[in-house]
Every structure is written in structure tokens, then in C-alpha cells.
Amino acid sequence: MSKIAVLGAGSWGTVLANLLTDNGQNVYLWTHSADQAQTLTTTHMNEHYLGDFKLNPDLQITANLETAIGDASVILFVVPTNAVRSVAEQVQPFLAAQPSWRPILAHAAKGLEKGTELRVSQVIDEVIKPELTSGLVVISGPSHAEDVATHDITTLTAASTSLAAAKSIQKLFMNDYFRLYTNQDVLGVEMGAALKNVIAIGAGALHGLGYGDNTKAALLTRGLAEITRLGVKMGADPLTFIGLSGVGDLIVTGTSVHSRNWRAGNALGQGETLANVLANMGMVVEGVSTAKVVHGLAAELGVEMPISDAIYRVLYEDAPLKQVIADLMKRDGKPEFDFEIETL
């Protein structure tokens, strides 16, 4: 039995911690709110995020970070992207004080950090030096917390430059409904995960506006083309984007009412304001912040990302949805594939 600390008691952190407990591990779920820790401990539920889903009574819940991470062999970060740095900064002194204790670090967040444009693994690496750890693993792929809670068959990627660390994470999580594949393209996996959230906002918006299946398929397919274009420019393996953290996650996020990104887009399509949508969601909508980062990255790297750019204009420049759609359709004709895939 391994001691595992899961940091972040929202939808995803709670479900992953519960799954690991069901798998027989010694799991501590950490929340930054003492009140939430108390409620979860007494009710064995995380009602705000997961309704009446019952937690495994063996799952230990705490608001004390030292209790959660002390001697853990794995520390898993599952807070929103823009909170990862502050949580890593709280963890770092404990690891630095005991350099012989080298846990595997993992994260399951999907976004790019506001202000720095960094991927989540880069943020963690910046705060916690790799020599204090036994590797850093990204857990990603098509996976709604609500579906994992009901044991829907789910497949994910455990991506790391350390195959040994990826295999350890794979082994801890796998069971009869949860299957992980290892992958060494950390950059591609994180870019696929972050960028699909932006496209999913667009997919929800099309639904909200009443567009049909052809249009939704067009958006997801051409969305994948531009995700791949940016990822490959940054050095990702193009194959990653036809994998679980590419097309797989784009399908699940771009077509599901469980997706907070899709739901936000759907509400925008129905005429809601962004401020209202975010105020009513009560959970993170990663694509909103990531859209701004992607806008900057695409400009810096000279990568054409017309759909992500259109979504950025809607979110940050108040451009009307119908107008950005009309603008997209007025673009010059292009070849379907306009970038070199050098590694194939």
C-alpha cells in the first residue's frame, strides 16, 4: 500500500483520490478549506462538486498540508492551473527539508499559466527542483469526473520523461474501468489538454446558437488542426494529437454536457454574458484563461489559430459570436494540411 497525497478537493481531485482509495492505496485528500475538510469528513460526500456521490470511508481528508504529504510516495496536484504555483510553493519547503524523501510528483490540471505561458509541469519544475523528486507525471485524457464516479470505462495517458515514474502512476491507477497508457511526449500531452478547452468553448457556443452536426464536426476537426499546428511548432510529436490527450479529450470535452468549458460556450451561445456564466458555474472553466495565453503564444510563434483567435475575440473583446463565425467563413481557401510533419 502506498501513501498518496491528492492536493485539491474539487471534482477531479475528489474522484481521483476516491478511485485510488478503492484501489487499496492509503490516500489523503487535501483541501485548502478547513470547513470543506470538516464537511467531507462528516458527510463522506463532496456535494457542491459531485452531488450525492458517496466517498470511500477509508479516504482521509485534511486541510493540513503536512499531514497530507508527509512521507507520501506520490503527490498529485489537482487544482486549477492558475493555483498550481501557489500550492507547489507550499509543498516545496517540506521536500527541501528532507532531500532523501523523493516522491513522484504528478498533476492532472489542464491549462497554461496566466502571465508566464508555462505548461503546468514547467510551473511545478520551476518551483520544485527535479532533484527533490522521483519524476513528474502528467495525467491527462478524456475523463469527466462525473463519469469516473460511476465507473464508466475511462482511458488516460500518464506522460513523463521518466518512463519508470509513468509506469508507477499507471500501476497505481489501473483497475477494471480505469486504464492508463504511458507516453513520453509531456509537451504534446499538456498542449493537447490545455488547448482542447478553448475549442470546447467554441463547440458549446455552436450548440447554443443552434448549429447542426456538420458545423460541430467542422469546428472540432479544424480545431484539432490548429492545436496540432501550435503543438508541433513548439516541439510536440504530432502523433500525440491523435491520441487520448489530443482527439480523445477534444471529443469528450467538445461534445458533453458534463464539460464546464462546453457548458460555458453553450450559455454564451444562448446569449448569457461571460461574467454571468463564470459566476454561475461554481467550478473552474480553464479554457477562458487559456484562450488568452494561446492568443499570445500563437502571435509570438507566428502560428495561425483562427478558431482559438475567434474565441479569444468573443471572450476578451466582446466580439459577437455570429460575427466571428462569419469572419471565419470568409477566410481564403486553404489546403487541408498546411504544415510539415517532420517526425513521421
Ligand X SMILES: NC(=O)c1ccc[n+]([C@@H]2O[C@H](COP(=O)([O-])OP(=O)(O)OC[C@H]3O[C@@H](n4cnc5c(N)ncnc54)[C@H](O)[C@@H]3O)[C@@H](O)[C@H]2O)c1
**Residue 190 interacts with ligand X (CB under 6 A): yes or no:** no
Q: Judged by CB under 6 A, which stretch of 77-85, 211-219, 246-254, 296-304 contacts ligand G3P?
A: 246-254
Q: Is residue 261 involved in binding ligand G3P (CB under 6 A)?
A: yes
Q: How far is the CB of 12 from ligand X (least distance, A)?
A: 4
233 catalytic residue (yes or no): no
Is residue 23 within the footprint of ligand X (CB under 6 A)?
Answer: no
87 interacts with ligand X by CB under 6 A: yes
Binders of ligand G3P among residues 4 to 63 (CB under 6 A) are none
Q: Distance between CA atoms of 175 and 70, rounded to whole angstroms? A: 26
Binding track, positions 159-178, relative to ligand G3P; x by CB under 6 A: --------------------
Give the range of 75-83, 226-234, 296-304, 309-317 binding ligand X by CB under 6 A.
75-83
Tell me whether residue 17 or residue 321 sits nearer to ligand X (CB atom): 17
- Count CB atoms within 10 A of the CB of residue 251: 16
Which distant-in-sequence residues (6+ apart) come within 8 Å of 80 by Cβ? 8, 10, 109, 111, 284, 286
Asked if 113 touches ligand X (CB under 6 A), the answer is no
Q: Pick from 4, 88, 145, 206 the residue near ligand X by CB under 6 A.
A: 145
- CA distances 70 to 99, 124, 127, Å, are 13, 18, 18
Applying CB under 6 A, which part among 1-9, 126-134, 217-225, 258-266 lies near ligand G3P? 258-266
Q: Which stretch binds ligand X (CB under 6 A): 10-18, 55-63, 128-136, 264-272?
A: 10-18
- Give the count of residues interacting with ligand G3P (CB under 6 A): 13
Q: State the minimum distance, in angstroms, from the CB of residue 193 to ligand X.
A: 7
Residue 139 or 321: which CB sits closer to ligand X? 139
Query: Which letter, b or e, does each residue of 156-192 get, where b requires 16 or more Cβ atoms within 10 Å of its Cβ?
Result: bbbbbebeebbbbbbebbeeeebebebbebbbbbbbb
For 128, the 3-state DSSP assignment is: coil
**From CA 161, how far away is CA 237, in angstroms rounded?**
13
Residues with Cβ within 8 Å of residue 156, at least 6 apart in sequence = 139, 140, 141, 142, 143, 173, 178, 179, 180, 181, 244
Q: What is the dihedral of CA 269, 273, 274, 279, to 10 degrees?
A: -120
Query: CA 314, 319, 321, 325: dihedral to nearest 10 degrees?
Result: -100
Give Cα 47 to chain centroid, integer Å.
21
Catalytic residue among 129, 196, 216, 233: 196
Q: Which residues bind ligand X (CB under 6 A)?
A: 8-13, 32, 49, 78-81, 83, 86-87, 108-111, 143-145, 283-284, 286
Q: Which residues bind ligand G3P (CB under 6 A)?
A: 110, 142-144, 197, 200, 249, 252-253, 259-261, 286
Query: Which residues are known catalytic residues?
Result: 196
